[in-house]
Amino acid sequence: MRLYALAVYLFLYIPIGVIALFSFNAGRHAAQFSGFSLQWYGKTLANPFVVNAVKTSFTVAVTSALLATLFGTLAAVALQGVRGRLRLFYDALVYVAVMVPGIVIGIATLIALVTVFDTLNPLLATLFGPENPIQLGLGKGSLIAAHGLFTMALVIIIVRARLQGMDRSLLEASADLGAPPMRSFVQITLPQIAPAVLAGFLLAFTFSFDDFIIAFFVAGSETTLPIYVFSSIRRGVTPEINVIGTLVLAASLLSLITAQVVMRRRSH
């Protein structure tokens, strides 16, 4: 390997390696390694704020990824039937959703949600009475919606690629053998695109679990894991941060590798 390539990789991975290493630090200083220990893992996992943040992140990531996978897959299948200019238009919309910076999506979603809430909440108050008002607000719901919308574009792109690689004559063969369209979809299309659907779900999950920017704007009073890390870092880097970083890294890598393996398998 060329020297500069080595330098690039070192620059990329040494900080991550340091975080993982220091998560096993026995001492209480984040910058000074004084022997291996799992004590910070114990302390971190016993911290109710951390546990709550993990729970929130996990709930939001699973729910938004499920929604994104369901609607993204349906959208990808529907887009297969669209031709010509309309197809180009939809394709552009999907790619734009992926390319727009997170901060823009965060702000835009926040403004949109707040505007909608401000319009709907007085109406809801009149409908259900002022004593026991059902009021819309920022929270898990808005997190799930924002993440779900963004990651749906990812799912669409992944599933579309697989659908386009699928032999169209398989569906004709299925019809020819007596299967009505809906049964052909379930028996032929779904198994064919299943690896892409699963990979899309895992990517969507990873994105949501790791996301800070969009979550920061639309989380309201909820604290996701990245938000917790961000707020506690202001009080200095503690070994606890290293532990969280290492755990999130491990979870993300696992999910990404699974997605890759699933995509490779059966793609001949």
Partner 1 sequence: MVNQTIAELRNVTKRFGAVTAAEGLNLAIFQGEFLSFLGPSGCGKTTALRMLAGFEQASEGDVLIDGTVVNGVPPHQRPVNMVFQQYALFPHMNVARNVAYGLNQRRPRLARADIAAKVARALDMVRLSGFTDRRIWEMSGGQQQRVALARAIVNEPKILLLDEPMAALDKKLRHDMQIELKSLQRELGITFVLVTHDQEEALSMSDRVCIMHQGRIAQIGTPEELYDQPQNRYVADFIGRSNFIAARAVGRDGERLVAEGPGGLRFVARAAEKTAGEGTVTLSLRPEEIRVAPDGAAGEGHEMRVTHRIFLGEHVEYHLRSAALDHLIAVVPRSTDIAGGTPGVGVAVRVSWRDGAALALAED
Which residues form the interface with partner 1 (CB under 8 A)?
167, 169-170, 172-181, 183, 187-188, 191-192, 266, 268
- Residue placing its CB nearer to partner 1 in the complex, 147 or 162: 162
- Residue placing its CB nearer to partner 1 in the complex, 96 or 261: 261
Q: Write down the least CB distance from residue 83 to partner 1, Å.
A: 12
Q: Write down the least CB distance from residue 131 to partner 1, Å.
A: 56
- Residue 164's nearest CA partner among 176, 156, 172 is 156
- Residue placing its CB nearer to partner 1 in the complex, 60 or 196: 196
Rounded CA-CA distance 155/70 in Å is: 9
Provide the token pair at 238.
């503690």
Q: Write down the least CB distance from residue 181 to partner 1, Å.
A: 8
3 state SS of 101: coil
Q: Write down the least CB distance from residue 197 to partner 1, Å.
A: 14
Three-class secondary structure assignment of 83-136:
CHHHHHHHHHHHHHHHHCCHHHHHHHHHHHHHHHHHHHHHHHHHHHCCCCCCCC
- Residue placing its CB nearer to partner 1 in the complex, 154 or 196: 196
- Residue placing its CB nearer to partner 1 in the complex, 52 or 192: 192
Contact 137, 58 (CB under 8 A): no
3 state SS of 122: helix
Q: Write down the least CB distance from residue 172 to partner 1, Å.
A: 6
**Residue whose entry in the numeric block shows the structure tokens 């393996």:** 261
